[in-house]
Amino acid sequence: MIEEDKEMRWRFDDYDWVDRYDEEVAADSELYARYDEVLEAVADLAAPAPGRRILDIGAGTGTLAAICAGRGAEVVGLDSSERMLAQARAKFGHDDPVQLLLVPDPFLDIPCPDGSFDAVVSTYAFHHVPHQKKPGAVREMVRVLRPGGVWALGDLAFENAQEEARALGRFNWLEEEHFARIDELRPVFADAAMSLNTKQFTPVTWVLWASKPPAAAE
């Protein structure tokens, strides 16, 4: 098992390949198979358009933020890596409606008011959150969603721990991380009166989404 303590100190900024992230992703047909489709699917669920506000957690080099901003949405991107965000900043001009913020714990401590986003999205980052902290991360993401807003995630994930173990035994390029287990996430969303939807893109990659209940009628 990965020690949580070690994982918490695992920082993107400590690795040289971080500065080549986009090229590494494009060249990787295993871990990042169907990457572009996953990002498009997550963006479609967030329905970016002028007047909509989208929060991208673990925004990294800003690829998903660029898709959403390109369709007119206002995007706030959070990440804990200055080197990833530096690449993101290079993709945007002053007029782009994108705000990129370096924060220590982007899933668990979102520096934004309750209900301030129409959609909360994330791609290939939630697996950095240890299992025992995922329920709190979900609650924090739901907190900043407006009633009726959409949560959408693309990441390595598994239906359950058994499927995860099977994949770890099958794919030698897959390293153990805190991959989301769908059966463990469902009750967390159910507690927020949200129903988790799923679509599998590769043997290890899923898009998950759920809508926050609309505000009760007065």
Q: Which residues bind ligand SAM (CB under 6 A)?
A: 12, 57-60, 63-64, 79-81, 84, 106-107, 123-125, 128-129
Q: Which is nearer to ligand SAM, 109 or 162 (CB)?
A: 109
Determine contact, residues 101/86, Cβ cutoff 8 Å: no
Residues counted in the chain: 218
Where b means 16+ CB within 10 Å and e means fewer, 91-108 reads: bbeeeebbebeeeeebbb
Nearest CB to ligand SAM, comparing residues 74 and 79: 79
| CB-nearer residue toward ligand SAM: 107 or 179 | 107
Shortest approach of ligand SAM to residue 134 CB, angstroms? 11
Min dist. Cβ of residue 72 to ligand SAM (A): 20
The Cβ of residue 83 has, within 10 Å, a number of other Cβ atoms equal to: 18
Q: Give the separation between CA 61 and CA 17, rounded to whole angstroms.
A: 13
User: What are 108's two structure tokens?
Assistant: 């668990």
Closest separation between CB of residue 77 and ligand SAM, Å? 9
Label each residue of 30-75 as H, E or C: CCCCCHHHHHHHHHHHHCCCCCCEEEEECCCCCHHHHHHHHCCCEE
Q: How far is the CB of 64 from ligand SAM (least distance, A)?
A: 6
Least spacing, CB of residue 215 vs ligand SAM, in Å: 29
Closest residue to ligand SAM, based on beta-carbon distance: 60
**Of 123 and 205, which CB lies nearer to ligand SAM in the complex structure?**
123
Closer residue to ligand SAM (CB): 80 or 205:
80
